[in-house]
């Protein structure tokens, strides 16, 4: 980022403009872009695009994280069913996070190969993922 701001400042100076302070571009990019647009008298559209791109990247990152949690939770559901019920035939085929309760606690639904769906909870503790299946499901199964 420092290299981009430095190059942009040099280009603006070479073009006869007084560039915004480089510190804005290093610390708060939208402020730098706003000040830059004011200096050269251009549209603020670049700021809107930058903020939209940041929002999109954060949303994609969040979805990837939930997908990773789901992928890790499914084999754990299968393992819990096997160990609790001795059933080797029921296997988890998909886990879908339905609600993020906190930064590390989720409600989800596990779909099994026998057509059953189980409401589960998933908790992250450091690098570990913990899955809980409600006792009532294990009793009625």
Tens of pLDDT along 103-122? 889 999 999 998 989 999 99
Structure tokens at 71: 């992928």
This prediction's pTM = 0.56
Check pLDDT > 70 for residue 141: no
Over residues 66-76, the mean pLDDT reads 88
**Residue 86, φ and ψ in degrees, nearest 5:** 70, 25
Within this chain, do residues 84 and 23 fall inside the same structural domain, yes or no?
no
Domain that holds residue 128: 66-140
Average pLDDT, the chain: 86
Is the alpha carbon torsion for 110, 113, 117, 120 positive or negative? negative
Instruction: Report yes or no on 21 lying in a domain.
Output: yes
pLDDT tier for residue 30 given thresholds of 50, 70 and 90: confident
Within this chain, do residues 136 and 70 fall inside the same structural domain, yes or no?
yes
Instruction: Report yes or no on 58 lying in a domain.
Output: no
Over residues 27-54, the mean pLDDT reads 88
Within this chain, do residues 34 and 89 fall inside the same structural domain, yes or no?
no
């Amino acid at each position: 980022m420092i290299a981009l701001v430095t190059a942009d400042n040099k280009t603006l100076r070479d073009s006869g403009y007084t560039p915004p302070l480089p510190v804005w571009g290093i610390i708060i990019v939208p402020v730098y872009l706003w000040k830059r647009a004011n200096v050269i008298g251009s549209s603020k559209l670049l700021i809107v695009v930058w903020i939209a791109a940041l929002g999109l990247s954060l949303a994609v990152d969040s979805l990837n994280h939930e997908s990773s949690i789901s992928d890790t939770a499914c084999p754990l559901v299968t393992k819990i069913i096997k160990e609790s019920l001795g059933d080797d035939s029921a296997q988890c085929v998909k886990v879908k996070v339905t609600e993020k309760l906190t930064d590390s606690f989720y409600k989800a639904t596990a779909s099994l190969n026998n057509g059953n769906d189980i409401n589960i909870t998933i908790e992250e503790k450091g690098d570990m993922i913990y899955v809980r299946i409600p006792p009532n499901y294990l009793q009625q199964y």
